Structure 1
Amino acid sequence: MQSRPHPHRTFYPNRKGFGLVESMISIAIIGIILAVAAPSIGSLIQRKKVIAAANELVSVIGYSRSEALAGQAEILVSFDDGAAAQGVSCVQVATTPLTRKSSCKCWGKITDSCRVAGAPGGKMLRIFSIPISSGVTFSTNSVAWPDSAVPGRFSFVWPRLLTDLPETLKITVSGSRGFQLRVDVSSTGQTSVCAPGGAEGEYPACP
């Protein structure tokens, strides 16, 4: 009896699969691509974090002005220099207590009242805080503050809704990979965002 090949089986005697050498080469190529792309991806993520922080600071300033208008009261905005020692960059918005030397801290426990011994305190309205471990920080570089005894604080004054800043407040937002944006706050409470290192996309170079 003569045997016949199975009608549904096709043989490819010259076709070979991936061997160990080919697999190792493929893995090496993928590793090289990832090594080249990783820094770019990391820089892009860091850039987006800096932009998000700058936008949030603009929002905080706008919110403070709106609260002064809605409540017909003075609103205090505080950047606490001591926050860095606590591992954060932060800013708080509160109604103004009878004395500006309020005990509330933007890095401390969030409570409704910011009290000072023997004096009514202000009410905490909003906090924006970023852990330094995230790779993004922000800081102010104003050389003059309304109250020299308590640097880092200014307020929106009702009814004119102007700040009591003697000069433009500059808030620098920095990423760990070098990308920076700056939020400028004028004495009229207007904000603008620029790039200290030169024009970056939609952000013009800082003057």
Structure 2
Amino acid sequence: MNQAWRRSTSPSPARAGFSLVELMVTVAVLGIIAAIATPSMVDMIDRKRAVGAVEEAYSLLHMARSEAIKQSRTTRVTMSTGAAGSWLIGLSHGTGACADASDCKILEGGTGVTRMSDPSRYPGVKLDASLATFAFNPRGLASGIAANGATLDFTSQRGWTARLALNPIGRIRLCSPSATTNAGGYKPC
């Protein structure tokens, strides 16, 4: 009786595993799903690059303003663009614009610390700034910008845009210049 029970529960050799037809159908379905998902994934990565760049700039500008207030010292912000879409945002306590890591330093705890963007983390993102340099004074006010403010637009390869807007009293905000190309879900400017 015990042997009969064992034989009935063991799988038959013909039923073990997948058939070739079942495997082919599974691979075809996975291929279709991957083909549908890939374009939206590429688009999402492109949006996130623009958002990452604008949020890094936002963080740098807030740091510049807070360090100017904390140290009672003017902090200069430099935006530069180069060939092939390269760009840089840097902070310094000097009177001139900073161009590389050796120039873009601010004092923290008596030591010069490099504070600049890392555009290599955002390939394909371009910066369009309405000014090249400005400064936060010891009261946190922005000097060197127009009365109606300044903007820094970050645009990805696929055209998604995020904007950083700055006004003369030092308010920094993120917004979108266009509802159709809004990269980060920001409010309209």
Query: Which TM bucket (shorter chain)?
Result: 0.7 to 0.9
Aligned partners of 2:49 and 2:122 also within 8 Å: no
Unaligned runs of 5+ in 2: 106-111
Alignment of 1:21-100 (within 5 A): 21-82=21-82, 84-85=83-84, 88-97=86-95, 100=96
Q: 1:47: Cα distance to partner?
A: 2.3
1:133, 1:49 → 2: CA distance?
A: 5
Q: Give me the TM-score of the superposition, normalised by structure 1.
A: 0.71
**Among 128, 131, 139, the residue aligned to 2:117:** 128
Structure 1 pair 72–197 and aligned structure 2 pair: CA distance change class (3 A): same
Alignment of 1:1-207 (within 5 A): 6-10=4-8, 15=15, 17-82=17-82, 84-85=83-84, 88-97=86-95, 100=96, 102=97, 104-106=98-100, 110-111=101-102, 125-131=114-120, 134-140=123-129, 142=130, 145=131, 152-159=132-139, 161-166=141-146, 167-198=148-179, 200=182, 202-206=185-189
Equivalenced residues, count: 177
2:4, 2:187 → 1: CA distance?
A: 74
1:193, 1:19 → 2: CA distance?
A: 56
Unaligned runs of 5+ in 1: 115-122, 146-151
1:132, 1:55 → 2: CA distance?
A: 12
Structure 1 pair 163–112 and aligned structure 2 pair: CA distance change class (3 A): closer
Secondary structure of 1:134's partner?
coil
Structure 1 pair 71–194 and aligned structure 2 pair: CA distance change class (3 A): same
Q: Give me the TM-score of the superposition, normalised by structure 2.
A: 0.77
What value does the CA root-mean-square deviation take over the aligned residues?
3.0
Structure 1 pair 160–24 and aligned structure 2 pair: CA distance change class (3 A): closer
Could you tell me the percent identity over the aligned residues? 28
**In the alignment, residue 7 of structure 2 is paired with which amino acid?**
R
**In the alignment, residue 188 of structure 2 is paired with which amino acid?**
A
